[in-house]
Structure 1
Amino acid sequence: MLAPFASERFPFSSCGQHEPVVADSLYGLSYPAFPHPARVSTYCAILPCASQLNGCAFCIQYHLNVARKAGLASAKIDLVAAWRDAGIYSARERAALAWTEALTLMSQRHVPDSLYEDVQATFTHQETVFLTSGLEAHCLHARLSINSTCIYHL
């Protein structure tokens, strides 16, 4: 279990009850990206990666469990932290993982145009929009959770 933060932080864990527009907005950004069966393996791979980069233990465990339940191959779940060297991810998954790293860490380094071009060549415009909005909604949710009074039981 992670230690709780100081009591003056806002209680994001109950945000859906008290501020449903915030919870609905986060859900609205991410929902279109995830339900399509053709996208399941891609999203099951990127969300644990983003969670690791964000440093959210709850998110890592949650998204690894989701990936397992969705049937993502165990090797892909186990090696997501070393995806570049693993050699087991499809071209779509590699492009999505590279995009995930770049967008999640964009405050530390520039997102190269060449990566954007790779993403555009790999995904349709609609898929790129859904991938990006789903990823950014996830990162926002993780940041709100990490900075709130959430107590995680793993």
Structure 2
Amino acid sequence: MDVLRRATAADAAHLTALVRRSGAYRGGYAAMVEDYEVTADYIAAHEVFVAEADDGALLGFYALVLGPPAELDLMFVADTAQGLGVGRRLASHMKDRARAAGLSGVRVVSHPPSEGFYRSVGARRVGTVPAALPKITWERPELEFVLG
């Protein structure tokens, strides 16, 4: 990964496509993201950062909502970039941005298969969030990054 930069309105369609194409949301999880849209207004309102390859290919992104409450609202890594350290770099950057904003913690409501990743980068489980019918039919792990 060569570049980690602030997202712009021009990135909205690409971020939306990354969310909707995510292999982590196939099968029973597909309904959660099938109509999801990352808008230019959303990008303007929140701390949204994009990871790009040397050739400009989108590797992943995150969106930090400063709150209150502070929350890591989105983090996606392209299927082709899984296992390359992109998610770890995004998580580290997000924690640095949160600290710089004066936050002491950041909440994450995780996609169940992603809980292990978040725990591996320092989040701790604090509970569960119930299903949000009709699109989300499963409980989701609630985690928190405690920032020192």
Give TM-score scaled by structure 2 length: 0.30
Considering fraction of residues, name the structure with more helix: 1
Larger Rg: 1
Highest RCO, 1 vs 2 (Cα 8 Å, sep ≥ 6): 1
Considering fraction of residues, name the structure with more strand: 2
